[in-house]
Structure 1
Amino acid sequence: MQQKQIINVLMNLKEDADKQYKATLKGIFGSYARGEAKEDSDIDILVEFRKNATLLDLAGLGNFLEEKLQHKVDLVSQNAVREEIKPYLYSEIIYL
């Protein structure tokens, strides 16, 4: 799947992610954002969960997105990004 296709799919799923999984899809980063993805690359997605979200919401959202994208995803909570990684992540993120 190409970068533009991924972004389009995720844009169309933002409302479902919010309603069903208490999450805001923020953007993609990593190899797909840099245009360096290979066949076995996962899609790195930055997500912001509401305070009342649970681990079931996280797992459910991951499964939901993998099903819709037909590809392995790696969800990263915006609140869990370590300070030393933030400059790298935010320099390459493609916001939705």
Structure 2
Amino acid sequence: MTKNPLIKYQKQISDLAKKHQISYLALFGSHARGEAQINSDIDLLVDFKETPGWVELYDVEQDYKKLFNKDIDMVEAAGINKYVKPYILPDLITLYGQRPASLS
């Protein structure tokens, strides 16, 4: 299992997930693979308890951007393209919640 590079933020990650009704949050991409550069953004896969509106999506992205002091690329689990999914799934590092069956 890959080490979570964001472990020092675990409490804040959980607090924000609860605030925004997130059921699952995972890291993927260069940070998950240990290949991040100084200017790399943070790729987050998110699954919500209920479908959020645009304002809520923006708020989630901004809250995590502020926490990590990095740009955030956020992908909703429900909206993953079937052609991209095989490239995302192997990288996933769970930050909050349980991985949904749809991401198996």
Q: What's the TM-score once normalised by structure 2's chain length?
A: 0.77
> What secondary structure is seen at the aligned counterpart in 2 of 1:26?
strand
> What secondary structure is seen at the aligned counterpart in 2 of 1:76?
strand
- What corresponds to 1:16 in structure 2? 16
CA distances 1:10-39 after superposition (whole Å, capped 9, x unpaired):
x32224323x32223421000001111011
Structure 2: any 5+ residue segments left out of the alignment?
A: 96-104
- What corresponds to 1:83 in structure 2? 82
Structure 1: any 5+ residue segments left out of the alignment?
A: none
Q: Distance in 1 between matches of 2:32 and 2:51?
A: 29
Could you tell me whether the CA contact under 8 Å between 1:44 and 1:73 is conserved in 2? yes
CA RMSD of aligned residues (A): 1.8
User: In percent, how many aligned pairs have the same letter?
Assistant: 27
Segments of 4+ in structure 1 off by > 3 A? Answer: none
Q: What's the TM-score once normalised by structure 1's chain length?
A: 0.82
Cα distance, 1:8 vs structure 2 = 3.6
> May I ask how many residue pairs the two structures share in their alignment?
92
